[in-house]
Amino acid sequence: MSTINSTINKQLTPVSFTEVKLDDVFWAPRIETNRLNTIPAEYKMCEDTGRVAAFDLKWKQGDPNPPHIFWDSDIGKWIEAASYSLATHPDPALDALIDTVIAKIAAAQQPDGYLNTHYTQVEPHARWSNLRDCHELYCAGHLIEAAVAHYQATGKSSLLNILRRYADTIDQTFGVEEGKKRGYCGHEEIELSLVKLYHATGEQRYLNLAKYFIDERGCQPYYYDQEAHARGDDPAKFWALNYSYMQAHTPVREQREVTGHAVRAMYLYCAMADLANETGDLELLSACESLWEDLCLKRMYLTGGIGPSASNEGFTTHYDLPDLTAYAETCAAVGLVFWNHRLLQFEGNGKYADVMEKALYNGTISGVSLDGQRFFYENPLASTGKHHRKGWFDCACCPPNIARMIASVGEYMYSQGDEDAWVHLYAQGQARLTVGGKKLTVQQQTRYPWDGTVDFKITPEQAFAFGLHLRIPGWCQRFELCVNGTPVDSASLSVNGYVKINRVWQAGDSIKLVLDMPVQFVVAHPNVQQMAGRVAVQRGPVIYCLEGVDHIQAPLDDIVARADVPASDQFTHEFQPDLLGGVVVLRGKGMLSPKLNWDNSLYQFIPHLSQQQTPVPLTLVPYYAWDNRAPGEMRVWIRTL
């Protein structure tokens, strides 16, 4: 019932990615690769696997390759990604292709508004009979997100109208009112999509329906029990044993511990933040804050990957963060970005931006190859050499998820309010903001994340006073700030991870922010057993790794880092434009010390340097870029003993 503030302090509104033009060294090329390679490749896979044709409703019982329960969501996410791309880069061919797909979707919609290729063709009499397992509302949610994205990108309401009809059908089917099912989806997604639909249409009932799905979730008696009995199934035979798998074990606003399937959790928490934002629901915000602490202080990989376990694609116990077997699904890291971006808007607390940035530069984009055409589902922090990206997956949630995130990455960079502007992330380009109804442009000139210097030009349409918040990332321990050439004592201005510069801004104003960006060794909390005695290497927001291709001398597990010497004193950093799409490479020395064999001992002597340890040159490359050269080993966490 309590939260940090007695009322929700919602000061920030994201600046749409359509107002953010990037021409930076990092994201702009990725957006282009996403547009040119990823989005077309994913469409081809959707076509080749029957996902597009499924909307033709030509599948008959006995045919091979029945439309799968997930398929509609892949099309939805692909349309969403393609629409975001259209929004910043007009492309008549892509526009037309989307229209073709939308025409198929329109044709597949049933007279009552229902829209699901699996149920309509494969199980026509089983609609809404297994919300727990069968992703019906999840697919609807992704189609709704697609429809809103398409409408906002193109102004066309073709897909939006289809999904409004479907949402109305869903609204008539689910709710607390007499005659309606009191169900909710086993895989959250519909909730956050309905908030988006509410915004796109102004229809309050979509927000109400989102709120119903949130509030009904986890109430007893459990809907999934009743639903199972109605199907003739024994609910005790639910494979995941417990509804905490889908965060439905207890009412949502009472949840304080992150449980179950990681992607489901993220999408639920996004919707909770959305509703807190829309309705001022302090309980939901307070739950989000507790869940954030549970997740980000006890369950998150250094890369922003989350959900260590393959068995439930999700969470286990506190501090259980194995590197080699990390599941850390791409979608879950993407969801972590979505959720932290939402939480960031309440008070502009940099801790949310820190997590968002961590995931953006590491655990999300590791999910796609540099050529944009191969994908990781799992993003472990170590590999014996057998983990490689693939062109597609039967369960293909990750490829279009990373595509939609990259296409809209500008969305995460700025916020605006009545009296303030915020810069959350640094990337060369310019953004148009509106503060208190007045327009301004913020230009950034920087080579971030490879260099910590950012030169700003602030250009309001007319001079006016506002507070400009510049984020000081959590990884940055020292920085300098000048406004119009004059050093600013920024320590006094810092709050919650931002410096706030209050002044009457006028055209021509400039700021120079220099974030000290040394190479640093990272250690994990002592409770993270698997990483005890290991260090990782970070520079700026980028987490580095060792790859086998750079270390043919020995297995990576035989390499020991010299953690007693500061990383900045032993590693050089150099931007190599020709390597891995252009990255800063770190070079230094470690020691070669064969890993001890523990078969018959509880204690062992450390082998003598002179006898068994020899210096070995180390090359560290950004984690996100691994597995883009010769296949081999990888590890983020390096032994120190």
The nearest distance, CB 3 to a second copy, in angstroms, is 18
The nearest distance, CB 538 to a second copy, in angstroms, is 7
Interacting residues of 8 by C-beta distance below 8 A, sequence separation 6+? 276, 277, 280, 281, 282, 285, 346
Question: CA torsion, points 312, 244, 284, 352, in degrees to nearest 10?
Answer: -20
Residue with tokens 């869940």: 291
The nearest distance, CB 639 to a second copy, in angstroms, is 10
Q: Calculate the CA 599 to chain-centre distance.
A: 41
Between 488 and 532, CB nearer to a second copy: 532
Between 83 and 303, CB nearer to a second copy: 303
Contacting residues toward a second copy, per CB under 8 A: 296-298, 300, 302, 475, 477, 520-526, 528-529, 532-536, 538, 560, 562-569, 591, 596, 598, 600-606, 608-610, 613, 640-641
Between 174 and 637, CB nearer to a second copy: 637
Between 482 and 522, CB nearer to a second copy: 522
Paired tokens of 225: 């029990």
Interacting residues of 154 by C-beta distance below 8 A, sequence separation 6+? 83, 86, 87, 95, 98
| Distance between CA atoms of residues 244 and 259, nearest Å | 6
Between 51 and 562, CB nearer to a second copy: 562
397 in active site: yes
Rg (alpha carbons) of the chain, rounded to whole number? 25
Answer for the pair 362, 293: CB distance below 8 angstroms, yes or no. Answer: no
The nearest distance, CB 637 to a second copy, in angstroms, is 11
The nearest distance, CB 124 to a second copy, in angstroms, is 49
291 class by beta-carbon count within 10 Å (0-12 exposed, 13-18 middle, 19+ buried): buried
| Choice among 397, 398, 476, 545 that is catalytic | 397
Beta bridge partners of 421: 416, 468
Annotate 230-249 with b (16+ C-beta within 10 A) or e (fewer).
eeebeeeebebeebbbbbbb
Residue by residue, DSSP assigns 58-94 as ---TT-SSPPPTTHHHHHHHHHHHHHHHHHHS--HHH
| Choice among 19, 191, 313, 357 that is catalytic | 313
Q: Report DSSP state, residue 388.
A: -
Between 435 and 537, CB nearer to a second copy: 537
Annotate 189-221 with b (16+ C-beta within 10 A) or e (fewer).
bbbbbbbbbbebbebebbbebbbbbbbbbbeee
| Distance between CA atoms of residues 13 and 317, nearest Å | 35
The nearest distance, CB 529 to a second copy, in angstroms, is 5
Between 423 and 563, CB nearer to a second copy: 563
The nearest distance, CB 62 to a second copy, in angstroms, is 53
Instruction: Tell me which residues are annotated as active site.
Output: 313, 397
